[in-house]
Structure 1
Amino acid sequence: NGRFDIKIISFNRTKDSEDMRMYTQPVLYPNKKEMCCDQNDSDFVVATYWTTAYYVSEMIKNNLKTIPLYFIQDYESWFYPESDKKTGFKILNTYDLIKNKIVYSEWLKQKISRHSNNVIKITPGINLDIFYPRGIKSKRVKRILGMARPSTPRRGFDNMIKALKIIKEEHPYLEIAFFGPDDLKKYKIPFKYKNYGLLKEDALTKLYSSSDIFVEASLFHGLGLTGMEAMACGTACVLTDSGGPSEYAINNENAILVQPGDTQQMVNAISFLIKDDLARERLRQNGLETMNRYPIRNTAVEFEKILWSFI
């Protein structure tokens, strides 16, 4: 809205900003030291991952003017094996480095609040100017769409493949499609599928809109953005009851929620929606109505109010 001059800062870029869905080019520094020393004129600096919390802490060490915030997007200590206690300690330590922490879901707020105070939950949102039904479903064979990221174990790829293998055997004419950043050719997937890879938002929206069922199998989630996107595009969703999705997904009302790692529950849910067109349409319509309550503009307004409250 013009009241804030916002910039994204980083160093040693490893991913293209378009792949990361950034709406502005990041300001890139040659090293961490220069990045940290160049923020003295900022009113706020926001950490967005546990490693960046240490950078933000460094930025404000001798700078009383700049206000630090910590936008925590997932329960990151669970990203690592339980045996990696050193990394786990470093992550937990970040919750006390920065006083004010912001999260998107009640589940994540409760997780972080076990370790630290001053956790603020804001309402999540998506860009409904981009994610909306494109009206391109047809009376072709039904398509099941999944987000595939086997390189990240917490995304539940193995369990999703087990479930879809059973589904494909029971319904051989189904089309199964995936999207995501990983090359699936190196994985043994025991059925025919199409991988659309990493998609820009317009192409992803069209893929959601042309699919009948979206499946997400994560073991845990700070929010579950792909579920929100699929709902907003008019796709019936089978999601895991994995924490964050409960912020917007209600079982048997706007999605079917299954227990993380429970292959049979996932099979039952997908099979039910394949066979019952009325139930699938009901979830689709209810999902659309739900997502109309989550425009990203409302999230931005909430976040702006938080910023002003600290000035």
Structure 2
Amino acid sequence: MRIIFNLMGCSLGNNGGSLTIIKSANTLLRLGHDVEIADTARNQNSWIPLLVKHRIVKNINDIENADVIIATGYDTVKTTLEYKKNIPKYHWIRAFETWKMNESKIIEKIMKPSTKKIVNSICLKNKFLKYGFDSEIIRPGNDFDIFYPMNIRKDNKKIIIGGLYNNRNKEHRGRKRVDLFLEVAKKLKDILPDKIEIHMMGDDILKEKNIVDFYLKSPSEKEKNKFFNRVDIWVTFSCSEGLHIPPQEAMLSEACVVGVDEELAGTQDYLINDRTGIVLKSTEIDYILTMLKILIFDSEQRNFFGKTGRKKILELGDREENMKKLINIFERDMEKK
């Protein structure tokens, strides 16, 4: 099957969205499909190799003989529908991109057009159902050979609280709630200075060195796995995700994960309160501190969530399993043509 990922106007960079596209395309190639990325700029992702053909085009119809075409970012919907060949045209929606446009424009310009809608998470499916738009869920899958328990957490001298750092811009930092994490971290260190350490990971230059004890900048996947294996409690307050990937990778290492009860937390597919981790009912500081202190002093509960969390992520399947589900959708719709 000849599959085209449309990135015209979006392009590939060092970010989670691009990584998902590259890994999905590479997996489909390994499964025997002819996969190509249509783009308007060169590939700027340096994290992993891109194995499929990456073609810079001015017009989507410069791509020949596609069997299916997939819009990726919101900016690619229009050009996807402009593809002249009568084939299934999809939009794999991986975020509710309010940084691109407001909600009413998302519905008018993204959901109403006639692409077949695929989302990557329960929270996006539920979000669009509120407006009367159904979709199918295809998750990208995880790398079970890259993220796994290393049995080194027991060597920690203190309880390590981990989180994702972002300082790209005010809007992005706000959606990730980095400042909330840092505020909680500072208060925890004031309360329990001899008990905890704060470790963070990201691609930006860390400014808050007085709060963060260890910072891993632009890590390789091998370095990320070791980082997650040191973390006892991974905390995410993010409120604008599709399917949030770092908490899944932390869970695969058997870290205990704490998230938030938000419409677009991006953790609903795997973080189940009191079963696979903790879902905070509030972002009020004293409440967060209380819940985290319980976990800090209860290693048995942390270990339980670590085991059940990893099991849940394994149940969601690896990349090949999930890309085979995507191919099943394509084959079904091609038969209808």
Matched letter for residue 310 of structure 2: L
Gaps of 5+ in 1: none
Partner of 2:183: 162
Is 1:196 the counterpart of 2:220 in the alignment?
no
Q: Distance in 2 between matches of 1:198 and 1:208?
A: 14
Q: Which moved more, 1:280-289 or 1:258-267?
A: 258-267
1:17–1:25: 8 Å Cα contact kept in structure 2? no
Is 1:70 the counterpart of 2:91 in the alignment?
yes
Partner of 1:299: 322
Partner of 2:231: 211
Is 1:52 the counterpart of 2:76 in the alignment?
yes
Is 1:144 the counterpart of 2:161 in the alignment?
yes
1:192/1:125 CA distance change after superposition, 3 Å:
closer
Q: Distance in 2 between matches of 1:90 and 1:295?
A: 30
How do residues 1-311 of structure 1 correspond to structure 2 at under 5 angstroms? Answer: 1-13=30-42, 16-19=44-47, 21=48, 23-24=50-51, 27-29=54-56, 33-34=58-59, 36-58=60-82, 60=83, 62-64=84-86, 66-77=87-98, 79=99, 85=102, 89=105, 92-115=108-131, 117-123=133-139, 125-137=141-153, 138-150=155-167, 151=169, 152=172, 153-173=174-194, 174-185=196-207, 188=208, 190-242=210-262, 243=264, 244-259=266-281, 261-296=283-318, 297-311=320-334
Secondary structure of 1:250's aligned partner: coil
1:299/1:2 CA distance change after superposition, 3 Å:
closer
TM-score, normalisation: structure 1: 0.86
Q: Distance in 1 between matches of 2:132 and 2:223?
A: 40
Partner of 2:22: none
Q: Distance in 2 between matches of 1:179 and 1:91?
A: 34
Secondary structure of 1:196's aligned partner: strand
Matched letter for residue 267 of structure 2: P
Matched letter for residue 165 of structure 1: K
Q: Distance in 1 between matches of 2:282 and 2:139?
A: 24
Deviation at 1:263?
2.7
Secondary structure of 2:35's aligned partner: coil
Deviation at 1:279?
0.9
Over residues 5-41 of structure 1, what are the superposed CA-to-partner deviations in whole Å (9 max), with x where a residue is unaligned? 112332224x63233x565366141x5x24x132231
Matched letter for residue 63 of structure 1: K
Deviation at 1:202?
1.4
Secondary structure of 1:134's aligned partner: coil
2:36–2:53: 8 Å Cα contact kept in structure 1? yes
Secondary structure of 1:97's aligned partner: coil
Q: Distance in 2 between matches of 1:294 and 1:123?
A: 8
Secondary structure of 1:176's aligned partner: strand
1:259/1:192 CA distance change after superposition, 3 Å:
same
1:119/1:90 CA distance change after superposition, 3 Å:
closer
2:88–2:330: 8 Å Cα contact kept in structure 1? no
2:38–2:63: 8 Å Cα contact kept in structure 1? no
Q: Distance in 2 between matches of 1:274 and 1:284?
A: 14
1:25/1:168 CA distance change after superposition, 3 Å:
farther
Deviation at 1:149?
1.5
Count of residues paired in the alignment? 296
Over residues 196-219 of structure 1, what are the superposed CA-to-partner deviations in whole Å (9 max), with x where a residue is unaligned? 112221111111012111111102
Partner of 2:19: none
Secondary structure of 2:118's aligned partner: strand
Matched letter for residue 111 of structure 1: K
Matched letter for residue 223 of structure 2: A
Gaps of 5+ in 2: 1-29
